[in-house]
Amino acid sequence: MSDGSSTEVLVAMLRREIAGRAPGERLPSSRDLIARHGVGPVTVSRAIAQLAAEGAVVTRPGSGTFVAVRRARPDDRAADTSWQTVALAGRPHVPDTDPTGGAGPGDASGQGGDAADAVGALPDGTISLAGGYLHENLQPTRALGAALARAARRPDAWRRAPAVGLAPLRAVLARQAGPGVSPEDVLVTGGGQGALSMLFRAISAAGSPVLVESPTYPGALAAARAAGLRPVPVPADEDGIRPDLLADAFAMTGARLLYCQPTFHNPTGAVLAPERRRQVVDVARAAGAFVVEDDFARHLGHGRPVPAPLVADDRDGTIVHVTSLTKPASPSLRIGAVVARGPVMGRLRGMRTVDDFFVARPLQEAAVELLSTPSWDRHLRTLAAALRERCGVLADALARELPEWTPARLPVGGLHLWQRLPDRVADGAVADAARVRGVAVNAGRRYFPAEPPAAHLRLSFAAAADPAELVEAARRLAAAVAG
pLDDT in tens, 269-299: 999 999 999 999 999 999 999 999 999 999 9
Quick one: pLDDT at residue 124? 84
Q: What is the pTM of this model?
A: 0.79
pLDDT band at 421 (very low <50, low <70, confident <90, very high): very high
Of 3-7, 278-282, 339-343, give the lowest mean pLDDT range: 3-7
Quick one: pLDDT at residue 279? 95
- Which of the 8 DSSP states describes residue 295? -
pLDDT > 70 in the chain, percent: 90
Quick one: pLDDT at residue 73? 57
Quick one: pLDDT at residue 396? 96
Adjacent-strand bridge partners of 419: 457
How far apart CA 268 and CA 418 sit, in angstroms, is 5
pLDDT in tens, 204-238: 999 999 999 999 999 999 999 999 999 999 999 99
Tell me the average pLDDT of the chain.
88
Using the predicted structure, report yes or no on whether residue 120 has a pLDDT greater than 50. Answer: no
How far from 179 is each of 162, 176, 248, 319, 345, CA to CA, in Å? 24, 8, 33, 15, 19
How far from 471 is each of 328, 390, 401, 461, 468, CA to CA, in Å? 23, 10, 9, 10, 5
Determine the average pLDDT of the residues in 128-149. Answer: 94
pLDDT band at 267 (very low <50, low <70, confident <90, very high): very high
pLDDT band at 83 (very low <50, low <70, confident <90, very high): confident
Of 378, 413, 139, 386, residue with least CA distance to 301:
413
pLDDT in tens, 32-72: 888 888 888 888 888 998 888 888 889 888 788 999 887 65
3 state SS of 272: coil
pLDDT > 90 in the chain, percent: 66
Domains annotated on the chain, with CATH: 7-67 (1.10.10.10), 113-133+376-482 (3.90.1150.10), 155-372 (3.40.640.10)
CB-CB neighbours of 71 under 10 Å: 9
Q: Are 293 and 322 in contact (CB under 8 A)?
A: yes
The DSSP result for 11-22, as a single string, is HHHHHHHHHTS-
The DSSP result for 447-481, as a single string, is G-SS--SS-EEEEESSSSSSHHHHHHHHHHHHHHH
Determine the average pLDDT of the residues in 124-148. Answer: 93
Could you tell me which residue, 113 or 449, shows the higher pLDDT? 449
Using the predicted structure, report yes or no on whether residue 336 has a pLDDT greater than 90. Answer: yes
